[in-house]
Structure 1
Amino acid sequence: MNIQRKELLVTSFALFSLFFGAGNLLLPPLLGYNAGENWLWVTIGFMITAVVIPIIGILAHAKLQGTLFDFGKKVSPLFSSIYCILIYVISVAIPSPRTAAATHEIAIHPIFGTSPLLTSAIYFSLVLVFVLNRSKILNLIGKFLTPFIVIMLLLVIGIGLSSSGFTTGISNIETPIVSGILEGYQTFDAIGAVVVGAVIIISLNFKNMKVSAFDSKRRLIRKSGFIAGTGLFIIYAGLISVGAYYGSEIEVNSELSSDMQRASLLRGISIAALGTFGNTILSILISLACFTTAIGIVAGAADYFRGLFNKSQTVYFATAIIACIAGVGVGQLDFHSIIVIAYPVLLFIYPITIVLIILNVLPEHIATPFVFRVVVLVTFIFSLPDVIGFISPSNKLTDIMNYMPLAKHSLGWVLPALLTLVITSFVQSKPID
């Protein structure tokens, strides 16, 4: 079956929107602002963790066309089950409520002065309505919400760049590429890839999408991934460059928390580019970007637990309701507190997720179960010091790990994982008699 252009565009827009949430909008401008003249280098680093790896994750989904469980099953079914539960619990407990917190702090409270409880309650009630109308998610997001988000983003970036003085400040970032990579962690996009990719797969199986053959779905998902990735690249590069070029024109209070600095800068850029109307545009933009991401997270979690119980719709409904209630509860925290909680979790789960994504796109004769098990184990071992070091900065393990390349940048697991992949691939290719 030939892939219809309409289906391709709807899926691409939906995929973009499911990725693009609070962090994706707030992180790039301040990154560019701080990078100044080095904004291009931080852009490269940011793209690695916020675009390249997530899209590779979508390509892995196109290849597997299963659930998140399929990502880790070559390690072992038990490992994959634990990994899936951790991913969905983390997603429901941190990124999903973070979207509500960001919406409240930046878009709702400054205008209406409402409490976070009221905002979260209304927000997740609407999320629940969308998630329970499961078969319509792609169409609703892909046809209506995403085009509006993209148009507003391009408007802010285009007018912002054309009205800026194209003068950057001096960079206060020592290692631009590494800083970009680590900032890309905060988008949750690698985790988002394995979560929302599964949402896309299941959505394509519903009757309203005329794509059923394995090869047709694979082509559709791959093309959609590349289109969404291109869109993310353009938007991120635009937001980072706008932040850099407005660095000498907008004053950001250094005494504010980093998340409020991000919001303050983005608001300043919007007002500078679009006038007083820019504040309204920003509020709508953040609300929609956060909302679509929350829908993807809750739907992904509900889909997974539904699959564990013989595709029970009751389990799907129950999981969606529990996830939304959890979102209301955690959404009472401010955005900064959720970021602080998220960081050590990211240092632990992100390296494993990145490794699983890469292994799943490699050819079967290279990424065998043996390679999966050893590489994941090594990644786990070498990522633990980062978590321990964040919780307790002064410890012998961290001191020892600092001798590893990139360890000081929380990337000490990269070289061991890469070497393990090369060595295990070579060892298994040798016949054992």
Structure 2
Amino acid sequence: MNTLSSKELLFIVFMLFSMFFGAGNLIFPAFLGNAAGSEMWISLAGFIITAVGLPILGVIAVGKAGSLNTLSTRVHPWFALVFPFLIYLSIGPGLAIPRAGTVAFEMSIKPILPDTLSSSPFMLFIYTLVFFALVLYLSLSPSKLVDRFGKLLTPILLILIAIIFVKAIFTPVESFATPIEIYANNSFFQGFLDGYLTMDALAALVYGIVVVNTIRLKGVKDNSILSKYMLFAGLGAGILLAIIYSILTYLGASVSALEQLDNGANVLTLVMNELFGQAGIILLGALFTVACLCVSISLVISCGEYFSRLMPFLSYKPWATVVAVISFIIANLGLNQILAISVPILGAIYPLAIVLILLGLLNRFANHLIYLYGIVFTAIFSIIDTINTALLNNTWSSTLSFIPLYEQGVGWVLPAIVGIMIGAIVGKFKSPVVEK
């Protein structure tokens, strides 16, 4: 068989959606709506570019290249070793998986615990122990991913969100508040930067090969047909993500006149209290638990497969176990500590991922030197900017502000363009062979 039925394709769309949709995908659009208030639609447009557009393009780019390693090798063999490793650490046991487990605890169990227990490290320990044991159990059979996600977890997730949205429609909505300063002055680009925090463009570089393998397991062998299904799966998941982000942003904005809060978890708690009362906390907890389970299972599978290929002295199942155990340990550091280190790390890695994805899509026109110089120039800026923000308390900002778009948070764009242009010019003189 070299084709998929409409039903099979739909389940793959659901699978890809649920792989992307985790804790951050609930929190960040809700916070954006609450903070942006009357500017929510402009901010949402920027958010969708980085939180929907880039991840889907990433899936397609990896699908075209065949793997993240193949795509990264076009830059340099050393880059193909280091960059994927950093991505898998970031979206895996280093940041994303522990964050999912901790957020699931914060939003599902902690609100219903007595005050004496809610702040107890022991309760977090017990919850994350059960959570990651379940994640590991469901990760040990990756071939069942479509059945578990496409047929069970994703429909549950979508039904829960639909219930919340329908209730919001029939409940009077407060007028939207004036946006807080950072969104009032920079609404589009702030939404663009908020999309980084979902980490989905990084995850897309990992999930692409998972989707490819899933489609191949269904009997599709022809590469052109495979690419077509990758495109359909990506677009379908992207449409679902955009719809859900719009709903969550709207919900956050709908309570902005009541209170503008400092994080998306509190925003959603306020929304659910307004819509459902105390029962809303239970519904919200169920929503977070399902979303965090989905993304954690996907990431454990992806990381287990990657590390088993990179270091084959252990097979997939032992590596999946290692990833789950490390994630469990880091989750017990607490949500605040995990979030504190995520922003500078993502600020350094994300621009590289964006440039790599775009070059992968335009590979027909990009020789090796375009990849190399584009990535090198982007990396130099990203490292300098990360040092400035994470270690030097922005003491270099006045010097760096001469770079166009730096104050909007995307100063890497000009260095990337300059690097690509230099690569193209040098490539003309060296007459490189362009990959097809």
> What's 2:175 paired with?
167
Q: Which amino acid aligns with 2:28?
A: L
Q: Using the alignment, how far apart are the partners of 1:395 and 1:240 within structure 2?
A: 30
Change (3 A) 1:81 1:280: same
1:266 aligned partner: 268
Q: 1:115 and 2:150 equivalent?
A: no
Deviation at 1:418, TM superposition (A): 2.3
Which of 186, 190, 200 is equivalent to 1:189?
200
Deviation, 1:159, is 2.2
TM-score (norm 1): 0.92
Provide Cα deviations, 1:167-202, integer angstroms capped at 9, x if missing partner: 111111221011101111111111111122222223
Q: Which amino acid aligns with 1:178?
A: F
Q: Indicate which of 194, 218, 225 corresponds to 2:227.
A: 218
Deviations 1:285-339 (A, max 9, x none): 00110111111111111111222356x7x42112111111111111112222211
The 2-side partners of 1:281 and 1:135 are apart by: 30
* Paired amino acid for 2:164: V
Report the AA paired with residue 25 of structure 1.
L
Work out the CA distance in 2 between the residues paired with 1:17 and 1:69: 24
**TM-aligned CA deviation for residue 39 of structure 1:** 0.6
Per-residue deviation, 1:215:
2.3
State the 1:423 CA deviation: 4.8
The within-5 A match list for 1:19-418 is 19-66=20-67, 68-91=68-91, 92-112=93-113, 113=118, 115-165=123-173, 167-172=175-180, 173=183, 174-206=185-217, 209-248=218-257, 250-252=258-260, 258-259=262-263, 262-309=264-311, 314-364=314-364, 366-394=365-393, 397-418=396-417
Structure 1 CA distance for aligned equivalents of residues 18 and 235 of structure 2: 14
CA distance in 2, matches of 1:270, 1:210: 44
Higher mean C-alpha deviation, range 108-117 or range 119-128: 108-117
Distance 2:308 2:278 in 1: 46
The 8 Å contact of residues 101 and 333 in structure 1, kept in 2 or not, is answered as no
CA contact (8 A) 1:388 1:398 kept: no
Give me the whole-angstrom Cα distance separating, in 1, the residues matched to 2:375 and 2:428: 19
Contact 2:371 2:423 in 1 (8 A): no
Give the 3 Å change call, closer, same or farther, for CA 431–191 of structure 1 in structure 2.
closer
CA distance in 2, matches of 1:144, 1:395: 47
- 1:90 shift after superposition: 1.9
SS, match of residue 86 in structure 2: helix
Aligned residues: 420
Amino acid at match of 1:49: T
Matches of 2:215 and 2:3, distance apart in 1:
15
AA of the residue aligned to 1:124: F
CA distance in 2, matches of 1:358, 1:291: 30
Q: CA deviation at 1:429?
A: 4.7
Verify the 8 A CA contact 1:199 1:303 in the aligned structure 2. Answer: no
Query: Per the alignment, in what secondary structure is the counterpart of residue 407 of structure 2?
Result: helix
Confirm whether residue 12 of structure 1 aligns to residue 13 of structure 2.
yes
* Aligned-partner residue type, residue 44 of structure 1: A
| One-letter identity of the residue aligned with 2:73 | K
Pair 1:72–1:168, CA change in 2 (3 A): same
Higher mean C-alpha displacement, 109-118 vs 351-360 = 109-118
Instruction: Tell me how far 1:353 sits from its aligned partner.
Output: 0.9
The answer to whether the Cα contact below 8 Å between 1:3 and 1:216 also exists between their aligned partners in 2 is no
CA distance in 1, matches of 2:340, 2:393: 19
CA gap of 1:129–1:397, structure 2 versus 1, over 3 A, is: same
Partner Cα separation in structure 1 for residue 81 and residue 53 of structure 2: 26
The residue identity in structure 2 corresponding to 1:319 is: W
Structure 1 gaps of 5+ residues are: none
Partners of 1:247 and 1:396 in 2: CA distance = 33
Query: Structure 2: where are the runs of 5+ without partners?
Result: none
Q: 1:414 to 1:162 in 2, by over 3 A?
A: farther
Q: Which amino acid is 2:390 matched to?
A: I
CA contact (8 A) 1:53 1:190 kept: yes
Q: Work out the CA distance in 1 between the residues paired with 2:49 and 2:84.
A: 24
In structure 2, how many angstroms separate the alpha carbons of the residues matched to 1:53 and 1:432?
31
For residues 241 and 393 of structure 1, the distance between their equivalents in structure 2, rounded to whole angstroms, comes to 37
Distance 1:292 1:80 in 2: 28
> Which stretch shifts more, 399-408 or 75-84?
399-408
Q: 2: distance between equivalents of 1:264 and 1:200?
A: 34
Q: CA RMSD in A?
A: 2.0
Is 48-57 or 108-117 further displaced after alignment? 108-117
Identity over aligned pairs, percent: 30
